[in-house]
Structure 1
Amino acid sequence: MLSGLAVGAISGFVVALFRLFIEKLLDFMKFLYSHPTPGIVIAIVVVSIVAGIFIGFLMKQEPNISGSGIPQIEGQLRGEMEFNWWGILWRKFVAGVIGIGSGLFLGREGPSIQLGASVGQGYADLSHQEGASRRVMIAAGSAAGLSAAFNAPIAGTMFVLEEIYHNFSPMVWITSLASAIAADIISLRFFGLTPVLHLVYVRSMPLPLYWHLLALGIILGLLGMFYSKVTLAMPQLYSYTRIPRAFQGLIPLLLVIPLGLAMPQILGGGNSIILSIGHTLPALPLLLLILAIRFAFSFISYGSGLPGGIFLPILSLGAVIGAAYGVFMNSLGLLPHEYILNLMIFAMAGYFAGIGKAPFTAILLITEMVGSLHILLPLAILSLTAFAVTDLLGGAPIYEALLSRLVLPTQIGRLHDAQRFELPVFAGSQLDMSSVRDYEWPTDSLLVEIRRGDERRIPHGDSVIRAGDTLIIMTDNAHLKHVRSMIERATTLPD
């Protein structure tokens, strides 16, 4: 536990500085966009190009600072990836401040988690800890990173257990909780005791109106599937630009300039948007416009590979969806005006639960960020509804799907003489209605794709294999006959 406290304190300081620099730079950029002159606009364009090139060189030196960093940590804790903690730490810090502080629709939480994990790894390496102890330090640093980013120590701990480490052992959760609390205390010294999303929860929603939670949960689940599919498709869309991957961040850094000149108040990960809508509710047309812009530019920002997260952008999208739903229902006379804010708060948790498939984290995070315990039951109902919709539709946890994209090329590269074969899955076979993780795949085999009709899916641990699917499998030529016969027994009915 003492090691967890030390990792948490160091991580809290690093992440608090990271968060502070981003806020100061973002405020400065909003000021410039609010007072434009030809000289200021030209300067922003030039600086944005230089910043994009500079971040590109950092990403070429260390590609694993790309994106949120959460899939990379999951891969590291599974033993599938390994990093130079110092190279990640300083490059992620610098590139994250520049990219997020410029006004892009990127969150600070993913990079904060990776910064914390790097501190945890560095602490373990410098104190000569190995194996399980080293992994616990990395997990503790991750919890500290999220805790310091959102002042949410309980949610930070739960996120590590539910989404990253997938282990509820006492050593993991006690060390992670100690680390998260230490980081939160350090962060509070920088930013005070006011919750990150200080929305005043005026009145509890009466039970006869709870049907709105189910209806909104279904909408959030469907829109969550849309968000996941487009997010996963963005790297392929960016490849058509012919710009090297490390320098594709130039596109959003330049596209944000006209957006900043037109609507400077909408820039950033979304924290200010949530607070603004919570205090002064816009009309439905403006809410729909904000929703469309935030959807489109969130995809553009994150899809470029720039260091930055999707955690806060997801929460902000959920808030706007909840507000738009509430205003629409109020116009129909089906929802009193005073409960619109309630749905806005609940929708943040529901949208994250549907996309991240981490409902416990979603519930605890919004509870801590808003600062009220009276919202637990409706939060749980809405989050579980959105989760169930995406689960029924076969949606994958977004971070696990992103991890699959990262490790697949490495796994294929380990095959010396790779051969590919296809096997259909028959009804009633061993693999019919089984999760990928529930089957013990033969050594030297790799399930690379599941075809379902015209749909092609990159598999992950929670993917459910169904009768009628075609499995695309790769293995070494030397093991082809053995691997094929073993998996074929699992895809066909026994004699």
Structure 2
Amino acid sequence: MVRYKLLTGESRFRIHLIAQGLAVGAVAGFAAVCYRLLLGMAEDFSLAALTGGLPLPFPVTVLLWCGVAVAIGRLMEWEPMARGSGIPQVEGELLGQVSMSWWKVLAAKFLGGGLAIALGLSLGREGPSVQIGAAAGKGMAVLQKRGKVEERLFLSSGASAGLSAAFNAPLAGVIFALEEVHKSFSPLVLLSAMMASLAADFVSKHFFGLGPVFSFGVPSVLPLNLYGHLLLLGLLCGAGGALFSRVILDVQTLYGRLPFPARYRVVIPALAALCIGPFLPDILGGGHALVEHLGMGGKTLSLIFLLFAGKLLFTALCFGSGAAGGIFLPMLAVGASLGALYGTAAALFTGMDQAFVVNFLIVGMAGFFAAVVRAPITGIILITEMTGSFTHLLSVSAVVILAHVTADLLRARPIYDSLLLRMLRKSDGAVSAGKILLEGTVCPGSPLDGRMVREASLPEGCLLVSIHRSGEEILPNGDTLLSAGDRIIALADGSRARRIREKLLDLSGVCVPEKHLWE
């Protein structure tokens, strides 16, 4: 029987995790930095070309754009796992549901992502950066002939490093890996992901400097007498996030009903970019420029609403085509537009100081992210790191919680869970066989709290192999009593890992309404 090092608790293994995390972070971070530099050049090209800087007759430009779009489609046929964001693929790999060819993903993501942004498509670099980091981590594990358990640690560490390098946000990279990718706060994953994220941030800062991603400065502290506005903005972000998720999924469904092969779908957003670019260039690309332009102020309500609606619809049109690119940064740009819209309206109709509009823009990004992704802690930390200021931490947290609850009441599904389910139904990736390890923590009052293992009603295909309590490891048997605070590790059938994980989270006291996520 194979003995997994993860279950030994030896200090030498923790030291090994630190070294492993630093190595993966350096490699994955460098890969993500290269991708970020490539997309920056591609976005500069598309902005110049679509605003009249390309010295070609318009019919020739149309043919060029269509040809590149078809090339992207064929590239996605060559490696289907490179389609879209990449975050669902990473989650699926960690659950044993799919298996990425790491080198094909890297090649297709770099080439396909760069071409998509060069066409002006509204797609982000952050989801692809997560997948690129994960693929780089998996490649290191494969080349070193590591086992499946360590391979998944390499992969999750690379994913954390990818987000860290994409946003100059090391803490957000760690929390994202735990809260969204793993959906559990595993100490072992935390240690490895933290080292990888810090190493990637160190590499990233050598290329992009020490400053935060957004450079509109530290806003004034929002006075407490304006916190009533945050209640309304939180509700708007929750409803707006639910709408964004619904539109993304519906447009993806509409693409699936088109009567021509999938390789030609990217032609639709490519032609739309040619038509939109000269008149509304702010909605092209990922959305970084849009957020900074809104942060400068001076926009009318009608223009901000046009940017909000245009960015939302154009992002759905681009993402639904299956091109290599994510919705992470475009989603933040839509949230910033909604926050700026509300702040501008409040300044216009209530006499609020116009200087506070940027505060509403910032909290709008965080609230919208929480409503769409349903990862509130990541949203709070990410926006704090991206803006380089803790002055708005309380206001950001308030809006994030309200938006998260509102989206839940509207029965909106977490977007990456929905996309993962769709991907699995289409069976684009090869199903991975074997067993995987799942972790959870027993919460007070949960169905596992105070129960013996034999009474725990664990899901079929799941074996409880270790319990960590107060720094000690317990090898369980049927009479072992579970108690609040126990960290449990289970061995699961890879083909059913997704269902088993959701059941374990439910049993341990983490509320995950399966009918909302997987219906």
**TM (normalized to structure 2)?**
0.79
Deviation at 1:37, TM superposition (A): 6.7
Does 2:388 correspond to 1:350? no
1:51 to 68, 78, 82: 68
Aligned to 1:317: 334
Deviation at 1:114, TM superposition (A): 0.3
1:92 to 104, 109, 112: 109
Aligned to 2:81: 64
Deviation at 1:302, TM superposition (A): 0.7
C-alpha distance in structure 1 between counterparts of 2:32 and 2:58, whole Å:
31
C-alpha distance in structure 1 between counterparts of 2:348 and 2:206, whole Å:
44
Distance 1:38 1:85, change over 3 A: closer
1:161-200 deviations in Å (ceiling 9; x for gaps): 0000223222211111111111111111111122111222
Please give the residue correspondences for 1:15-26 in structure 2 after superposition, counting only pairs within 5 Å.
15-26=32-43
1:30-57 deviations in Å (ceiling 9; x for gaps): 1223335772534432221221121112
Conservation of the 8 A alpha-carbon contact between 2:283 and 2:310: no
C-alpha distance in structure 2 between counterparts of 1:168 and 1:442, whole Å:
23
Letter of the 1:13 partner, please give it. F
1:365 to 382, 401, 418: 382
Letter of the 1:352 partner, please give it. F
Aligned to 1:181: 198
Aligned to 2:512: 462
Conservation of the 8 A alpha-carbon contact between 1:100 and 1:108: no
Aligned to 1:270: 287
Deviation at 1:15, TM superposition (A): 1.2
Deviation at 1:101, TM superposition (A): 3.2
Please give the residue correspondences for 1:17-416 in structure 2 after superposition, counting only pairs within 5 Å.
17-36=34-53, 39-333=56-350, 335-410=352-427
C-alpha distance in structure 2 between counterparts of 1:37 and 1:127, whole Å:
47
Deviation at 1:381, TM superposition (A): 0.5
Unaligned runs of 5+ in 2: 1-17, 432-446, 448-455, 462-492, 499-510
Deviation at 1:336, TM superposition (A): 2.3
1:381-402 deviations in Å (ceiling 9; x for gaps): 0001000001122221110111
1:243-283 deviations in Å (ceiling 9; x for gaps): 22233111111110011122334321100000011113301
C-alpha distance in structure 2 between counterparts of 1:323 and 1:93, whole Å:
33
Distance 1:284 1:77, change over 3 A: same
Conservation of the 8 A alpha-carbon contact between 2:48 and 2:54: no
C-alpha distance in structure 1 between counterparts of 2:202 and 2:107, whole Å:
23
Conservation of the 8 A alpha-carbon contact between 2:116 and 2:323: yes
Aligned to 2:482: none
C-alpha distance in structure 1 between counterparts of 2:406 and 2:280, whole Å:
34
Conservation of the 8 A alpha-carbon contact between 1:359 and 1:387: yes
Matched residue of 1:164: which SS? helix
Letter of the 2:141 partner, please give it. A
Unaligned runs of 5+ in 1: 415-429, 431-437, 449-460, 473-495
Further displaced range: 400-409 or 373-382: 400-409
Deviation at 1:334, TM superposition (A): 5.2
Letter of the 1:463 partner, please give it. P
1:323-358 deviations in Å (ceiling 9; x for gaps): 010111111115322211101011100000011000
Conservation of the 8 A alpha-carbon contact between 2:376 and 2:400: yes
1:117-155 deviations in Å (ceiling 9; x for gaps): 000101111112113211111000000100111111100
Conservation of the 8 A alpha-carbon contact between 1:117 and 1:139: yes
Deviation at 1:76, TM superposition (A): 0.5
Conservation of the 8 A alpha-carbon contact between 1:396 and 1:462: no
Matched residue of 1:203: which SS? coil
| Runs of 4+ deviating beyond 4 Å | 438-446
